[in-house]
Amino acid sequence: MGPPGAGKGTQGELLAEHFGIPRLSTGDMIRAALDEGSPLGERVREFYDAGRLVPDDVVLDLVAAAFDRPEAERGFLLDGFPRTVAQADGLGALLDARELALDAVLSLEVPDEEVVDRITGRRVCSSCGHVTHVRAVEAGTACPECGGELSQRSDDAPETVRTRLAVYREETEPLLAYYAKQVGLTAVEGVGTVEEIQGNLRAASDGVGAT
C-alpha cells in the first residue's frame, strides 16, 4: 500500500522477484484482460471504452482469475489493490474461499510534499517512453536515452496530483487501520534510493511465507 508516486510498481516488482512470486496489479490485469478479449475482458472493455471506472465486482473477478493461475500457486504480491474498504472486504472473501490469508501488509510511507515533487517533476519521452525527473536532466534538453522530446503527462500536473492524493487519503488510507487490526501492518520508510527502499521492504517482510 502507499500513495500515488510512492514507488509501489517498481518496488513491488523487485520484491516479487525476490520472493519468486508474481506481482499482481489491477492496472496490469485490466490491460491483459483487454488484450485477451476473454468474456471477462469484454466486460472490462464496456467500462473502459465508456471512460468509466471498472466496478469492484469486475475487478474482483479479475483478481480471482489471477489467484487461480498456476504462477500464483506459491503466493503473490498485490500491488495497489485493494484501494477501498469495499474492495478489501471482497478480497477477504476471495481469500477465505481459497483458504488463503495475507501474510503481511506493507505500507510505503512517503510525505505529501515528496509525492508531489516526484510526480510533478516526472518527464516522459514521447519516443521511447523513458521516464526521468526534471532535476535529472538539464532544462530544455532531450531524452538522455534516445534524444526524443520530454513532456509531462496530464495525469502528473500539480492539480491532478493533489486530487489523486486527496482520493488516496480519503478512500485508501482507512485501509491502513483496517489491516492493522486484521493482519498487522508494517510501515516502511519510502524515501531514499530504490535500493535503500527495497532493503527496507525486504527487512520488513523477512520471514514472510517461510512456513
Closest CA to 172 of 66, 15, 31, 26: 26
Q: Which helix (H) or strand (E) holds 185?
A: strand 185-189
CB of 130 to Zn ion, least distance (A): 4
- Regarding 146 and contact with Zn ion (CB under 5 A), the answer is yes
Clarify whether 98 is annotated catalytic: no
Q: From 17-25, 114-122, 129-137, 190-198, give the range in contact with Zn ion by CB under 5 A.
A: 129-137
- Regarding 145 and contact with Zn ion (CB under 5 A), the answer is yes
- Regarding 97 and contact with Zn ion (CB under 5 A), the answer is no
CB of 121 to Zn ion, least distance (A): 17
User: How many H-runs (helices) and E-runs (strands) does the chain carry?
Assistant: 9, 7
State the catalytic residue, choosing from 43, 83, 162, 202.
83
Please, which residues bridge with residue 125 across strands?
150
Clarify whether 181 is annotated catalytic: no
- Regarding 130 and contact with Zn ion (CB under 5 A), the answer is yes
- What's the CA gap between 73 and 174, in Å, rounded? 30
- What's the CA gap between 95 and 103, in Å, rounded? 12
Contacts with Zn ion, residue ranges (CB under 5 A): 125, 127-128, 130, 143, 145-146, 148
- Looking at the annotation, which residues are catalytic? 8, 83, 122, 153, 164
